[in-house]
Structure 1
Amino acid sequence: MLGDGSETVDGKDGWRHWLPGDPTRFIAVLGDMHVRTDAAGRAIVRMMPEHRHSNVLGAVHGGVLMSFADTALFAAAQVLGVEAAEGAVTVDLSAQFIGAGRIGIALEAEVEILRTTRRLIFLRGLIRQAETNILSFAGTVRRASTGTPA
């Protein structure tokens, strides 16, 4: 869920906390996330990788990047106003690792909606860290059925 929009994060207007609900679920392992939209109509989702997100080489673990990409699909759909985005499920997620992520520098996923249908949302995105491309991804999300728990 989005914050009420009245707060600023990191001193920048437009950033809102993105609260995925129950903090005892898997998604909590990613830590705090923030979301905003940009002038191009994309969603930007941010997380800060910590030591617990690292692999044995000291870089951001690939599983964390995949989890962040998957989560960014839902945060983006929600912040961009797609109906029934909350409670939706991932149908597929394709990713290409482009570079290594560093711990302690914010990761930002730029996500755009390519198309929506009655049941599906098609999205693509790019996870960047500073000026470095880290992961390219595309995914399909199935909207939640009205009245059906996820």
Structure 2
Amino acid sequence: MSSDITSHIGFRCEPAPDHPGWLDWDLEDDTRFNAVGLGRMILRCEGERSARVRLLDVERRHSNLHGNVHGGVTLAFIDVAMFATTFSVLGSEIYGAVTLDLHNQFIGAGLIGKPLDVVCEVMRETGRMVFLRGTVEQDDNLVSSFLGTLRKPSAR
């Protein structure tokens, strides 16, 4: 875990009082997509280069017409989790980064009413890029597998 896992401009990452060993992960502005579109997320580092990000309240608003987690919600959650993981590994160096690509394979359905986890690993970091891979899990069920690339901000 980065030694600078505390809040940075735009991000809020602090101990979750109701989940020992986890950190609350959010943006400082709770009117933005993370809070409005997804909801409360917590983060736990799992090794030097990986983290588990949990969407706590998977609700009806996250569902598709089949009553499962909508694929778009899953993709949005993966995107946010890639940033949270990278922030936990690299610290504030990720502020201002953008997603270049996200390749996902849906493997199973996410269920409403149960927390959803992204387990994400930083595979490689270069001067401008961060390469990640991971899975979306719910209990013992695999929901999807993904690869993604973030482009770090230009030095100013």
With the length of structure 1 as denominator, give the TM-score of the two structures: 0.88
Give per-residue Cα distances to partners, 1:81-126, cap 9 Å, x unaligned.
Answer: 2452122100000000000000111111000000001100000010
Which residues of 2 match residues 58-77 of structure 1 at below 5 A? 58-77=67-86
Match in the other structure for 1:17? 24
- Work out whether residues 9 and 16 of structure 1, in 8 Å CA contact, stay in contact via their aligned partners in 2: no
Distance 1:126 1:9 in 2: 25
- Work out whether residues 122 and 139 of structure 1, in 8 Å CA contact, stay in contact via their aligned partners in 2: yes
SS across alignment from 2:90: coil
Distance 1:56 1:125 in 2: 26
With the length of structure 2 as denominator, give the TM-score of the two structures: 0.85
Q: Report % sequence identity.
A: 42
Q: Which sits farther off after the overlay, 119-128 or 13-22?
A: 13-22
Distance 2:44 2:102 in 1: 22
Q: Determine which of 29, 32, 45 is the counterpart of 2:40.
A: 32
- Aligned residue pairs, count: 144
Q: CA deviation at 1:64?
A: 0.1
Distance 1:137 1:3 in 2: 24
Match in the other structure for 1:3? 13
Name stretches of at least 5 consecutive residues in structure 1 with no aligned partner. Answer: none
SS across alignment from 1:73: helix
Give the direction of change, closer, same or farther, for the CA distance of 1:136–1:9 in structure 2 (3 Å limit): farther
Name stretches of at least 5 consecutive residues in structure 2 with no aligned partner. Answer: 1-10
Distance 2:14 2:92 in 1: 18
Give the direction of change, closer, same or farther, for the CA distance of 1:121–1:8 in structure 2 (3 Å limit): same
Distance 1:40 1:102 in 2: 30
Distance 1:42 1:88 in 2: 18
